[in-house]
Amino acid sequence: MNFKCTHSNVLGIPLVEVFYRQYFDKHPYVFSTANPLLINTLINGFSLDHLIQTYLHEWGDIRIAKKDNADPTLSQQPPSDAMLLDAFNGGYTLVLNDLQQKLPTVAHICRLLSQQFLCPTNCNAYWTPAKGEALDLHYDDQDVYIVQLEGSKHWMVESRSAYRPYEGETYRPNTLLTECDHLTDCILEPGNVLYIPRGTGHKAVALDDNSLHFTFSTLNLRNRDLFVTFSETLHPYTEQLRQAVNCHEECFSEHISTVMASTLENIAQAFRDDPSLARSLFEQHVIPFIQEQPPAPISLEQSLRNTPDEVSYTTRLEVGRNQFLMLDTENLRIFFASGSIDIDPEHQWVLTLLNRMDSFSLAELEEEVETDGYIFDVEAIHALMDHQLVIIKKEEDMIHECSVCGYQYDDSDHALPFTDLPDDWVCPECMVDKSNFAVAEDKVTHLKQG
């Protein structure tokens, strides 16, 4: 097995090798994206109104944030169009979480970043009013790549931070953020990207116009993760660590020091003797690291239509939106959230297929594959569909209307069609159950793009 980080460079980092050598996990870095498609792709695939309407009734999918003078009663009421508009006009930033589970273009970019960094990736959008400031000085427990799409934002970033927190570690403002006395100023314009390593203090304020930026967060493997894996796996070299500590033993602290020093030396010698040991243990850790990540819920939207019997050579298909996807190109194996599959050598085209964004039919795919000199086999597609790595493209959706209040549930606006909602689901407007809904007169709506 040989995992290898890809060099898709979807964020358009100039001089990638310089970035990894001088900035990655060390210092903040501002650059103009060298990917000419990035900004237009994100903007064209993003509709604030559509996303708010789709996820309007769920706090968590939508958040509001304001540095000071925040009204605590706002978050105690269900979100609504009017409330969110009032909050935005009052200086609040609207935050839309987990766009990789909501937008195919963002899911695709997150999937490429996951392959590039060999770790899960997620994305949030921040829509900030002019002069607005969402958060005070803070730091994150993940590396972030901030892509400015509209408007301008003034960022202040600690230039010498060396703290690298783990996921879930609490903020320690009294001991860390108060030490951020070397803040560096930068202005992000559309097309600029700001990289901030985890643990780096930062804050931002929008300038004279409303600001929109996407934050891509990468949950990178850390050396401590690997060290824990090594210590659990290298039993022949860590046997002394299994001994009980006898606190009544004379000079027990010196004994512990001897045991620790001896164990570390045994491990160090093992790595010196076998250079392949580190790669082997790394790969043992990467697989569960990937598969512990939950599948993106958006892939459930067509789960009932993914049986091979329904697929013809003209059926429109698309790559599934599960962004946690790693490719072992040397051994032709795909690892993804909740599973993995092997690829036959004559089906290497599958690895290329999983990087595409456009929809396709089996007829188009077969012609493309055979033109490239590979063998097309529809069973390879069926195997991908079994794991929802390839799904049927949804072209039509139903509209169900509440007979009590008139609320309409449009399948194209939601991750799940109405028929797949749980039995205890209720109308978000008048709280009646599903039995009060019927197909509306204008029962079909075409899939909305963006």
Is 141's pLDDT higher than 50? Answer: yes
* 200 token code pair: 């780096």
d(CA 12, CA 16): 9
Amino acid 100: pLDDT = 85
How does pLDDT run across 289-328, given as a tens digit for each residue? 776 666 554 443 444 344 445 678 888 888 876 667 777 7
For the chain, give the mean pLDDT.
Answer: 80
How does pLDDT run across 183-218, given as a tens digit for each residue? 789 999 999 999 999 888 889 999 999 999 999 999
Is the separation of the CB atoms in 423 and 434 below 8 Å?
yes
Is 179's pLDDT higher than 50? Answer: yes
* Percent of the chain whose predicted confidence (pLDDT) is above 70: 82
Amino acid 187: pLDDT = 96
Mean pLDDT of all residues in 323-343: 79
**Of 317, 308, 388, 329, nearest to 356 (Cα)?**
317
Mean pLDDT of all residues in 326-334: 81
Is the separation of the CB atoms in 235 and 165 below 8 Å?
no
Is the separation of the CB atoms in 334 and 326 below 8 Å?
yes
Query: 25-29, 39-43, 228-232, 338-342: which has the minimum mean pLDDT?
Result: 228-232
d(CA 121, CA 109): 9
d(CA 204, CA 193): 14
The confidence band for 446, taking pLDDT boundaries of 50, 70 and 90, is: very low
* pTM, rounded to two decimals: 0.76
Amino acid 96: pLDDT = 92
**Number of C-beta neighbours around residue 396 at 10 A:** 11
Q: Which residues face 342 on adjacent strands?
A: 333
For 128, counting Cβ atoms within 10 Å of its Cβ (0-12 exposed, 13-18 middle, 19+ buried), the class is buried
Query: 15-29, 34-48, 199-213, 345-359: which has the minimum mean pLDDT?
Result: 345-359
d(CA 395, CA 310): 14
d(CA 269, CA 238): 12
**Number of C-beta neighbours around residue 442 at 10 A:** 9
CA 44 to chain centre: 19
Query: 271-275, 298-302, 386-390, 446-450: which has the minimum mean pLDDT?
Result: 446-450
Mean pLDDT of all residues in 334-344: 81
Query: 159-168, 376-385, 425-434: which has the minimum mean pLDDT?
Result: 159-168
Sign of the alpha-carbon dihedral angle for 407, 409, 410, 415: positive
The confidence band for 444, taking pLDDT boundaries of 50, 70 and 90, is: very low
The confidence band for 420, taking pLDDT boundaries of 50, 70 and 90, is: low
Amino acid 34: pLDDT = 93
Amino acid 299: pLDDT = 41
Is 426's pLDDT higher than 90? Answer: no
Amino acid 390: pLDDT = 86
Mean pLDDT of all residues in 42-57: 80
Query: 45-54, 160-169, 255-264: which has the minimum mean pLDDT?
Result: 160-169
Burial 256-294 (b: 16+ CB within 10 A, else e): eeeeeeebeeebeebeeeeeebeeebbebbbbebbeebe
One-letter amino acid for residue 79 of the chain: P
* 23 token code pair: 């900035």
Amino acid 296: pLDDT = 52
Contacts of 449 (CB under 8 A, 6+ apart): none
How does pLDDT run across 57-112, given as a tens digit for each residue? 666 788 889 988 777 777 677 778 888 888 899 999 999 998 887 887 888 888 88
